[in-house]
Amino acid sequence: MHALDEYRFNRLTWDEMNDAIEAQKVVLLPTGSTEQHGHHLPLDVDVFLAESVCLEAGKRAPDRILVLPPISYGLNRHHIDFPGTIHIEPDVYIEYLVNITKSVAYHGFEKILIVNGHGSNTPTNDIAARRTVLETRSLCASVNYFALAVDAFSSVRDTEVMAHADEFETSLYLALAPERVRMAKAVEDNDVAGDYVSSDSIARYPVRFSDYWGRWTETGVHGDPTTATAEKGRVILEASVNGIVNLVDEWRAWPVAERRDQHRMPIQKDISWR
């Protein structure tokens, strides 16, 4: 059946889509950004890497995965001082995402996964996934693909910082499309860091804060891309793709349980939150 061999959502016809719905394939929505990534990488890094991981996962599990066309824009105003960066306001972005996930749910897919490559989309993707769960009968979760590769990356990394246009992203790009990486222009750069606050708060900082990048960097890099290699990138790719396939299998088996109302007195069922 073609719907079980094709993993790209929009390559199916509408009647093949009926087969995909019947098979309850998990629908992946890749999200990224169009934003500066230093002197050495193109603006498409986050969306290209997230989509590539999803497509490779789809290739390996075409009977369980359908990959939607990606969202190439996200929350990016903090990068706007660098030419080419495109910014979408959070409320517009969330509404757009939820319109997509609701459409997918409408057709009968029960499991949706938002797969993100742009750190600043994390809170908005989380809200979009939660809203999809609350406003449909389908289940939707969000994941940053790079979170699935942190352990594997630890075994090959030479630098401490994992942030932006760094050893991690540059290595993965080198593994996928080396001809688009200007390694000769790669430079190390760092954010402004205190004990509690850093200008580009990464995971080890308890306080979340994101300053305009035009205030603290002239390169647009956070991390050290000079140590990146395609070999490291292949380790990252393998871990990310395996992570997505394993996650899809768990997510596909996850029950959509019946809700049980625990009130003793009548509830006001007609109240709507939107």
Residues forming contacts to Zn ion in the complex (CB under 5 A) are: 45-46
> CA 51, CA 202: separation in Å to the nearest integer?
23
Nearer to Zn ion, 66 or 162 (CB): 162
Residue-wise DSSP of the chain: -HHHH--BGGGS-HHHHHHHHHTTPEEEEEE-----BTTTB-TTHHHHHHHHHHHHHHHH-TTTEEEPPPB--BS-GGGTTSTT--B--HHHHHHHHHHHHHHHHHTT--EEEEEE--GGGHHHHHHHHHHHHHHSSSEEEEEEGGGGGHHHHHTT---S--SBSSHHHHHHHHHH-GGG--GGG---B---B-SS-BTB--TT-SS--B--GGGT-SS--BB-GGG--HHHHHHHHHHHHHHHHHHHHHHHHS--PPP----SSPP-TT----
**Minimum distance between the CB of residue 38 and Zn ion, rounded to whole angstroms?**
10
**Minimum distance between the CB of residue 244 and Zn ion, rounded to whole angstroms?**
18
Nearer to Zn ion, 49 or 152 (CB): 49
Nearer to Zn ion, 7 or 173 (CB): 173
**Minimum distance between the CB of residue 9 and Zn ion, rounded to whole angstroms?**
24
Nearer to Zn ion, 138 or 219 (CB): 219
Nearer to Zn ion, 58 or 74 (CB): 74
**Minimum distance between the CB of residue 35 and Zn ion, rounded to whole angstroms?**
7
Nearer to Zn ion, 45 or 139 (CB): 45
**Minimum distance between the CB of residue 146 and Zn ion, rounded to whole angstroms?**
9
**Minimum distance between the CB of residue 85 and Zn ion, rounded to whole angstroms?**
12
Nearer to Zn ion, 102 or 180 (CB): 180
Residue sitting closest to Zn ion (CB): 46
Nearer to Zn ion, 66 or 172 (CB): 172
**Minimum distance between the CB of residue 4 and Zn ion, rounded to whole angstroms?**
33
Nearest to 162 by CA among 143, 149, 174, 173: 149
**Minimum distance between the CB of residue 74 and Zn ion, rounded to whole angstroms?**
10
Q: The tokens 């059946």 sit on which residue?
A: 1
- Burial of 232-264, coded b for 16+ CB within 10 Å and e otherwise, reads bbbbbbebbbbbbbebbeebbeeeeeeeeeeee
